[in-house]
Every structure is written in C-alpha cells, then in structure tokens.
Amino acid sequence: MTDTKTALLRSAERAARTKGFDGFSYADLAADVGIRKASIHHHFPAKADLTLAVMQRYHVAFAETCDRIDAAHTTGGARLHALIAAYRSALGNGEMVCLCVAFSISRDHITTDVRAAMGDFRQMMLEWLTATFTRGNGDGTIAQVADPAAEARAALALLEGAQLAARTQADPTAFDAALALMSSRLG
C-alpha cells in the first residue's frame, strides 16, 4: 500500500469517526493529506470504494486487537475488561465513535458492500464476545452469565451505545457510567 493510500485511509477513518460518513468529502481528505482531490480518485474512484476499504482495514485492525487481548489475558473477565478499555480508548476525549457506529448513522447513504462489511465486523465481534462470555462463565470471572450469545449481543450494543452517549456529551465519563454495571460483574 502506498504512503498516500495509507494516509487517505487514516484520514477517512478519522473523519468518519468524528464527523460521520456524510460529514466529510474528498476535498476534506485532500486538504488533510496534502494532495489534489483528483489524486484521491486514482486510489479510490468513488467514496463507496474508499468507505469499503476503510471498513475492511478497520476490521483487520480490530481483529488484531482481539488477538492481542487473547494473548495477554487468560480469563474471560480480563479479556472483557480489556475490550471495554479498547472501546473507551477509541473515544479519544469523547469526540469519536467506532467506525461501525459512525457508518450506521448514515446507513441509507452507504453501499450494500459496506453494510455487508459492517455485518462481517459485527459477526466477528459477536463471536469473540460469545467466546469471552463462555470463558468467563467457565472460569468464574464474569458473574451471572445466563446465555453467552445473548450476553455478547447485549455487550456489543452497550459498548456502541455508550460510545454514542459519550460522543453526545463530549465526555468519556459517560461511557464509564454506561459500562459500570457490566464492569462490576468482572472478576
């Protein structure tokens, strides 16, 4: 991947996570990266192409985050705690949300391919969370796990919703407050 292409992907992700899919244009990216707008079309002929590439890159990066969490933590509770920390870190100072949340807001303006990539990302997260709740139930480090798959769905919705609350208030402590009950279940 060329340096310009990488810079465009980074800039587009940052713009989407702070302004949403509809909140940035190729002109914004060109100014941020320091190239002509026409040069972006060389790498990404349409915004749909750029958006799909950003989502795929994000998926790979977050899968690597989950792999690092798994390698660093043996218990389900520690893994879930680390994931909560990763989602909180992604907020910055309350000015950003995760990419799926950002794209979901503009669902009607993104392509079917991007929606499918978002679905793939969410499925990966649900599988990881289900395995984490299963482990936490087995090793006793996550209290009151009734159904790991249901817990996974609720946890992902809670993580994403907590990011929205923090973004709305421009206050990362709103994220902490939303996650307090789930965090209290972790041993």
Return the DSSP state at 90: T
pLDDT at 34: 94
Return the DSSP state at 2: -
Q: Please say if the pLDDT value at position 90 is more than 70.
A: yes
175 and 88 Cβ atoms separated by less than 8 Å: yes
Return the DSSP state at 56: H
Q: How many CB atoms lie within 10 A of CB 96?
A: 20
Distance of alpha carbon 125 from alpha carbon 139, whole angstroms? 21
Give me the CATH code for the 51-184 domain, please.
Answer: 1.10.357.10
94 and 169 Cβ atoms separated by less than 8 Å: yes
User: pLDDT (tens digit, 9 = 90+) per residue, 100-150?
Assistant: 989 888 888 899 999 999 999 999 999 999 999 999 999 999 999 999 999
φ and ψ at 140, to 5 degrees? 75, 15
Q: Which two tokens stand for residue 34?
A: 């320091």
Distance of alpha carbon 125 from alpha carbon 167, whole angstroms? 21
16 and 95 Cβ atoms separated by less than 8 Å: no
User: pLDDT (tens digit, 9 = 90+) per residue, 147-177?
Assistant: 999 999 999 999 999 999 999 999 999 999 9
Q: Three-state SS for 186?
A: strand
pLDDT at 21: 85
User: pLDDT (tens digit, 9 = 90+) per residue, 34-48?
Assistant: 999 999 999 999 999
Distance of alpha carbon 125 from alpha carbon 62, whole angstroms? 9
pLDDT at 107: 84
pLDDT: which is higher, 13 or 109: 13
124 and 59 Cβ atoms separated by less than 8 Å: yes
Percentage of the chain lying above the pLDDT 90 cut: 88
Give the confidence band of 2 by pLDDT, cuts at 50, 70, 90.
low
- Where exactly are the structural domains of the chain? 51-184
